[in-house]
């Protein structure tokens, strides 16, 4: 499933950009409205790479296939001077389902206290599933409210998938400065049990004193196996 994504560097958002594909209050929500590259035709490809923070490398990708995708898993290598110096993988994508033409956000975890040069080059590959309600496929929530309060993003989301979902329910926050992705952080909702269609969850995501001029966030769970 899926296909390799092209190599990307930290200045990969300088090409021709496409309009922000989401409406406020849907699967991605917040105060940022960035623009991104068009991406590779017919593929799921990386369209922006943020700065490495010592463990996480945040990035954005666009789904240019003709179908919605889900359960999007990424792996990456970091090269310095042509040599591989680190490898890592993603821990889920935001939103959990990405429509054709839509943009998703994720991060590669390279391990704590990893040292990479500022000019490292990254190569990405991905696998995904069709966006459906099969058991254990990822289920996106609709964000109903989010606020930056005292260094944390506090908010709520609702299950509008039409199906019962189960936790844990992850919350991923991506911070932007203009169009540029600058950092990411994550947490889980206060709730973790099964949740029927129409049920709500709430969350507090600590920014750990990192600057976050504007942000986007997503909440997701899993379709119930029963």
In this chain, the answer to whether the domains covering 17-130 and 138-223 adopt an identical fold is yes
Q: Among residues of the chain, what percentage have pLDDT more than 90?
A: 78
The structure tokens listed for 213 are 């001029």
Cα dist from 65 to 21, 49, 144, whole Å: 15, 21, 28
Q: Which of 222, 139, 211 is nearest to 175 (CA)?
A: 211
133 in Cβ contact with 139 (< 8 Å): yes
d(Cα 176, Cα 197) in Å, to the nearest integer?
31
Does pLDDT of 207 surpass 90?
Answer: yes
CATH of 138-223, one of 1.25.40, 2.60.40, 2.30.30, 1.10.357: 2.60.40
Helix (H, G, I), strand (E, B) or coil at 76: strand
Give pLDDT, residue 15. Answer: 39
CA-derived radius of gyration, the chain: 17
Boundaries of every domain in the chain: 17-130, 138-223
Task: Name the pLDDT band for 27 (thresholds 50, 70, 90).
Answer: confident
Q: Report pLDDT digits (tens) over 170-195.
A: 999 999 999 999 999 999 999 999 99
State the DSSP string of 89-127: EEEEEESSEE-TT-EEEEEEE--TT----TT-EEEEEEE
Separation between Cα atoms, residue 29 and residue 46, nearest integer Å:
20
Q: How many CB atoms lie within 10 A of CB 171?
A: 25
Strand partners for 219: 171
pLDDT tens digit sequence for 112-169? 888 898 899 999 999 999 999 999 899 999 999 999 998 999 999 999 999 999 999 9
pLDDT on residue 138:
93
Q: What's the pTM? A: 0.87
Q: Is the separation of the CB atoms in 32 and 24 below 8 Å?
A: no
| pLDDT value at residue 9 | 40
Across residues 16-23, what is the average pLDDT? Answer: 40
| Helices and strands: H and E segment counts in the chain | 0, 17
Q: Which residue has the tokens 């609709």?
A: 142
Instruction: Look at residue 151 and give its three-state secondary structure.
Output: coil
Pairing of strands 17-18, 44-49: unpaired
User: Among 21-35, 90-104, 195-209, which stretch is predicted with the lowest mean pLDDT?
Assistant: 21-35
Note the pLDDT tens digit of each residue in 87-112.
999 988 999 999 999 999 999 999 88
**What is the average pLDDT value for the chain, to the nearest integer?**
88
CATH architecture for residues 17-130? Sandwich (2.60)
pLDDT band at 6 (very low <50, low <70, confident <90, very high): very low
For residue 23, the model assigns a pLDDT of: 43
Q: How confident is the model at residue 226 (pLDDT cuts 50, 70, 90)?
A: low
pLDDT at 13 > cutoff 70: no
């Amino acid at each position: 499933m899926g296909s390799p994504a092209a190599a990307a560097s930290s200045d990969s958002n300088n090409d021709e950009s496409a309009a922000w594909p989401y409406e406020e209050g849907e699967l991605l929500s917040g105060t940022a409205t960035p623009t991104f590259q068009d991406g590779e035709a017919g593929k799921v490809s990386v369209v922006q790479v943020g700065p490495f923070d010592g463990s996480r490398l945040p990035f954005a990708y666009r789904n240019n296939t003709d179908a919605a995708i889900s359960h999007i898993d990424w792996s990456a290598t970091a090269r310095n001077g042509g040599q591989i110096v680190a490898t890592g993988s993603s821990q889920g994508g935001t939103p959990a389902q990405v429509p054709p033409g839509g943009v998703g956000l994720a991060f590669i975890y390279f391990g704590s206290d990893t040292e990479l040069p500022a000019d490292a080059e990254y190569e990405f590959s991905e696998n995904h599933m069709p966006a459906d309600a099969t058991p254990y496929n990822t289920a996106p929530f609709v964000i109903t409210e989010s606020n930056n309060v005292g260094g944390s993003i506090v908010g709520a989301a609702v299950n509008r998938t039409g199906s019962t979902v189960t936790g844990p329910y992850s919350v991923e926050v991506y911070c932007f400065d203009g169009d540029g992705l600058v950092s990411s952080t994550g947490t889980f909702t206060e709730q973790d049990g099964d949740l029927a269609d129409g049920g709500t969850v709430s969350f507090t995501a600590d920014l750990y004193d990192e600057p976050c001029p504007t942000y986007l966030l997503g909440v997701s769970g899993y379709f119930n196996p029963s």
